[in-house]
Structure 1
Amino acid sequence: MKMKRAALSLGPVYYLWDGPKWRDFYFRIADEAAVEYVTLGETVCSKRQHFSEPHVAEVIERLEAAGKEVTLSTLAMVTLERESRQVRDLIRDSVHAVEANDLSALGLLKGQPHSIGPLVNVYNAATARTLAARGANTICLPPELPATSVHRMLEAMPGFSFELFAFGRMPLAISARCAHARSKGLTKDNCQFICGGDPDGLPLRTLDRQSFLVLNGVQTMSSSCAVLLDDLAPLVDAGLSRIRLSPQDCDMVRVAALYRTVLDGRMDGEEALVELAKAYPGVRFSNGFLHQQEGAAWVSRGRSAGLGHG
């Protein structure tokens, strides 16, 4: 049975990919991916910006020519005057909508249409209403929210554009220090962009070799990949308007196609999960947060209980 229509969006690339890879990724998204909205921009570390900056204009042109709506992301943590200037300049000069991923951007965005990214903690309808009153027209909810909280916000603000983080390693924390560089015997100021050698993050394991977290520069992410592919129908029926996919170093065109196929009722969620495991092999899937369990848990509706747990 076909559920209500929900748009697919693609969040910013959190990892450090070299310029040509970053550009070609978005060119393929423009030409082939079943997504309507794309958010671009360096969100994690301002030192990485020069890798993608030369390609931003041509990427935006290609995406817009393909009918995608483009939004530009702010940094998730602003600690330097240089970074503060970058955020001010982006908000002042951009002809595109801006997504705030740090509260420091909200004062500058007040009164003008903008969106709120999943790195801003929006946990209840009171917060969402406050942000909407200040100009936010779309809020991407954090991945740690349970379905009950999402439903309450949808009920409290009918017609408002809420988006849900539904695929990707979950952003858990961000720091002024770079644990990724430290793990390689380097410092943040002389990191040599070592994180570029881990295009899908640096896996961490416990002393007994269990997968634990993933480092991505100054960002800490989940080891498992959030996959809400088979959990979306009740939320979309309740009014969720957008589904966010966070880019991973895998076939994101295939990932988007599977989400679109399930959202359109053309494939069963269980069948799509099997195909998704082929598109992003060797990575554990999780949906525990949505089901009020630990985030790394997998709550299955059927035979896919073991997916990604090998």
Structure 2
Amino acid sequence: MTTTASPSKPTLSLGPVYYLWDGPKWRDFYFRIADEAPLAHVTIGEAVCSKRLHFIEPHVVEVIERLESAGKQVSLTSLALVTLERESQLVRGLSRDSTHPIEANDLSALQLLTGKPHSIGPLVNVYNGATARLLASRGATSICLPPELPMASVRGIIEETPAVAFEIFAFGRVPLAISARCAHARSKGLIKDNCQFVCAEDPDGLTVETLDRQPFLALNGVQTMSHTCQALIQELPELAVAGASRIRLSPQHCDMLAVARAFDDTIAGRCSTAEGLARLGSAYPGASFSNGFHHGQLGATWLSAKAGTEKEAVQHRP
């Protein structure tokens, strides 16, 4: 008689804060994550805009110490877009001097990291197994797959690349694009070089509406994000069977501790996926959840577990 091994349970990870939060708020957020959140791995740093670095730099060392004292593994993120020599120097210095693993979120960092253990972030377009295997051959030990990939592609890439740990972007506004120009500043009558850090006024992103006044996207400095919040809590059993090693939560301006606990309890089987989803709704009130990308549908779509392939409204809230 043959038996089939049960899939191992993935661990939880936390991606970097994409938004501009002031330094003390950023520090206190990670202190609480360190002390209370059921997370195995945390990636910190600035991925979106190098101008924001001076807000968090005074607190990075103490945040790392607090996280590691709590048993968390810590990685540092690289910038997602390098357009200036100053930014190039930042990436070179980070790759050369960091004693912590680097998460590459832009191809410009890969040459600097060749041969060194590092991870690949969700902003790098890893769309097939061949790309994943190439990155692994250059030293990547884990890859967070792009959040727009459908489950069929996720499953195929994991199957074709057994030597790498794969992470799935399971919670947070989806990062869609990044630009050398700052639409967030322009929307408030400013320019990038004199932005006055107005993105700090929108700690969860600035909603962009269509001409019909329907929420459509969110601006975050030079980054464009989805208006909806991707929430793959119903899909956790499927992701575990597929071999996902980590489930990534992307920080939003909500109770991220409650979000982490909902995912942790669902992964461990202490609550059902339906209960976990309801807890997410309480932790992030007013948010519109989506999982369309995962199911090969429009990204802003929400498909309930009971409805199967039935499409529900974009503004569905559990």
Confirm whether residue 105 of structure 1 aligns to residue 109 of structure 2: yes
- Secondary structure in 2 matching 1:189: helix
**Could you say what secondary structure the match of 2:192 adopts?**
coil
Q: 1:309 aligns with which of 301, 307, 316?
A: 316
> For 1:152, what is the secondary structure of its paired residue?
helix
* Structure 1 counterpart of 2:47, one-letter code: T
Distance 2:140 2:307 in 1: 40
Q: TM-score, normalised by structure 2?
A: 0.95
Counterpart of 1:23? 27
Would you say how many aligned residue pairs link Structure 1 and Structure 2? 309
- One-letter amino acid of the counterpart of residue 34, structure 1: P
Match in the other structure for 2:55: 51
Counterpart-to-counterpart distance in 1, 2:129 and 2:147: 16
Q: Structure 2: state its 5+ residue gaps.
A: 1-5
* Aligned position for 2:243: 239
Say if 2:122 is the partner of 1:81.
no
Shift of 1:11: 0.1
Is the Cα–Cα contact under 8 Å of residues 12 and 247 in structure 1 kept in the other structure? yes
Post-superposition offset of 1:299: 1.0
Deviation at 1:308, TM superposition (A): 5.6
Q: Which amino acid aligns with 2:259?
A: V
Correspondence 1:279 to 2:280: no
Q: Deviations over 1:277-296 (max 9, x none)?
A: 01001110000000000000
Displacement after TM superposition at 1:307 (Å): 9.5
Counterpart in 1 of 2:228?
224
Which of 117, 124, 130 is the matching residue for 2:128?
A: 124
List aligned pairs for 1:128-277, cutoff 5 A: 128-277=132-281
CA contact (8 A) 1:3 1:264 kept: no
Between the aligned partners of 2:307 and 2:27, the Cα distance in structure 1 is: 38
- Normalised TM-score (structure 1): 0.97
Instruction: Report the Cα distance in structure 1 between the residues aligned to 2:163 and 2:114, rounded to whole angstroms.
Output: 21
Give CA-to-partner distance per residue, 1:53-103, whole Å, 9 cap, x none: 000000000000000000000000000000000000001100000000000
Q: CA deviation at 1:158?
A: 2.4
Q: Is the Cα contact below 8 Å between 2:290 and 2:314 reproduced in 1?
A: no
C-alpha distance in 2, partners of 1:73/1:218? 17
Q: Is the 8 A contact 1:138 1:163 kept in 2?
A: yes
What displacement does 1:275 show?
Answer: 1.3
The 8 Å contact of residues 282 and 308 in structure 1, kept in 2 or not, is answered as: no
- Segments of 4+ moved more than 3 angstroms: 303-308
Contact 1:270–1:302 (CA under 8 A) maintained in structure 2: no
Secondary structure, counterpart of 1:21 in structure 2: helix
Structure 1 alignment gaps of length 5 or more: none
Say what the alpha-carbon RMSD is for the aligned residues.
1.4
Q: Greater shift after overlay, 298-307 or 135-144?
A: 298-307
- Does the 8 Å contact 1:100/1:115 carry over to 2? yes
1:9 matched to 2:16: no
Whole-Å Cα distance in 2 between the matches of residues 158 and 110 of structure 1?
A: 20
- Distance in 1 between residues matched to 2:289 and 2:177, nearest whole Å: 19
